[in-house]
Amino acid sequence: MKRVVYARRGGLEAIEIIEDEVPNPSTGQVLIEVHRAGINFADLMMRQGLYGGAPDFPFTPGYEISGIVRELGSGVTSLAIGDRVVSFTGFGGYAEQVVVDVERVWPLPEDVSFDAAAAMPVTYLTAHHMLVHLGNFKPGDTILVHHAAGGVGTATAQLAKALDSGAVYGTASPNKSDFVESQGMIHIPRGEDFVKRIKKEVGGVHHALDPVGGKHVMDSYRALRNGGRLYVFGASSAVNGPKRSMWAALKMWRSTPQFNPLKMMNSNKSVFGVHMGQWKDEDVIREQMVSLSKMLELGLIDPVVDSVYRFEDVVKAQKHIHDRGNRGKVLLDFSPK
């Protein structure tokens, strides 16, 4: 079987495809024939060596997949060979076959496609975790989300609608205005003063989702109303094109604000640091995945897929994201030809 590897830290040239043995499932594991693997922005960052918690090089990235169960390890009774499933792989999902712990695998309803399934786990779970698990979201709450046209951005917009939110402001590249508005968000072109606009229109939002890092974090904080919550869940400003830029990474790191809880008291604002890859409570993940699967089945959420590339074109797929071209999720097709 074939799998994608990051041979070393670097640009797109560090991506290789290698031949490997089909892995054997141990006790409590299943072997899955992968049909789709989701690409996350985090995959680009870990290739550049800018992602906390990534394995040592060389390694195979890939947080999420959909596919078919082909083998059961001993003790597995909750799934059967031939089941269509979706899974959090942790790492290693960019491969034709993967072995995963059964707790991280969920059966797919018949009418949910492999595309929709692989586009869901990371983005929807992250958005749901911030708004619902951490954020005590209430109907009518207002939201600010950055990278609004991307994976987490579109997931946030759909969850907001399902949860009966108030206005959702989304920043994204200027040429994505029609798309962002089509997702039910109010588009603010990237680079415009979103704090001023939000203050003027709604006085401040209840929830601000910031995956940018650096001084942008303080602007998101300033866009909150009294009692608002800021979730810092990424550092995309550390990335400047496919090649690693130590300058961009350092600038992001040095300009990220430090918050003084005594000052925060006066405005009742909260700041959460969020990294789903480092979340340790499996019950919280499972509970949220069950809610999301129900929402998917009921059609309350419907992942937006920008494009599907054959895995042999993984370099083109990642370049598309570096070029800020995606509107929704980018997937890799590993299905047998």
Helix (H) or strand (E) holding 335: none
Based on CB atoms, which residue is closest to ligand NAP, 72 or 137? 137
Based on CB atoms, which residue is closest to ligand NAP, 109 or 241? 241
State whether residue 50 is helix, strand or coil: coil
Q: Is 322 in the site for ligand NAP (CB under 6 A)?
A: yes
Q: Of 121, 151, 170, 204, which lies in the binding site for ligand NAP, with binding defined by CB under 6 A?
A: 151
Alpha carbon 151 to its chain's center: 6
Min CB(239)–ligand NAP separation in Å = 4
**Contact code string over 20-49 relative to ligand NAP, x by CB under 6 A:** --------------------xxx-------
Q: Is 122 in the site for ligand NAP (CB under 6 A)?
A: yes
Kindly identify the residues of this chain, within the stretch 58-87, that bind ligand NAP according to CB under 6 A.
none
Q: Is 190 in the site for ligand NAP (CB under 6 A)?
A: yes
Q: Of 97, 256, 293, 326, which lies in the binding site for ligand NAP, with binding defined by CB under 6 A?
A: 326
Min CB(232)–ligand NAP separation in Å = 8
Candidate segments 71-79, 110-118, 120-128, 252-260, binder of ligand NAP by CB under 6 A: 120-128
> What tokens were used for 230?
């800021």
**Backbone phi, then psi, for 238, in 5-degree steps?**
-75, -10
Angstrom distance (rounded) from CA 211 to CA 312: 29
Q: Is 124 in the site for ligand NAP (CB under 6 A)?
A: no
Angstrom distance (rounded) from CA 84 to CA 96: 15
Angstrom distance (rounded) from CA 336 to CA 125: 28
Q: Of 211, 214, 242, 303, which lies in the binding site for ligand NAP, with binding defined by CB under 6 A?
A: 211
Within 8 A by CB and 6+ apart from 218, the residues are 257
Query: What DSSP string runs through 64-88?
Result: EEEEEEEEE-TT--S--TT-EEEEE
Q: For residues 149 and 176, is the Cβ–Cβ distance under 8 A?
A: yes
Q: Of 4, 172, 230, 308, which lies in the binding site for ligand NAP, with binding defined by CB under 6 A?
A: 172
Q: Is 220 in the site for ligand NAP (CB under 6 A)?
A: no
Angstrom distance (rounded) from CA 108 to CA 215: 41
Nearest-5° Cα angle at 308, 238 to 239 = 5
Q: Is 147 in the site for ligand NAP (CB under 6 A)?
A: yes
Which residue lies nearest ligand NAP, judged by its C-beta? 150
Residues binding ligand NAP: number (CB under 6 A): 29
Min CB(99)–ligand NAP separation in Å = 23
Q: Is 173 in the site for ligand NAP (CB under 6 A)?
A: yes
Query: What DSSP string runs through 179-241?
Result: HHHHTTPEEEETTS-HHHHHHHHHSSEEEEEE-S-TTHHHHHHHTEEEEEEEEE---GGG--S
Kindly identify the residues of this chain, within the stretch 262-301, that bind ligand NAP according to CB under 6 A.
274-277
List residues near ligand NAP by CB under 6 A.
40-42, 122-123, 126, 147, 149-153, 172-173, 176, 190, 211, 233-234, 236, 239, 274-277, 321-322, 324, 326
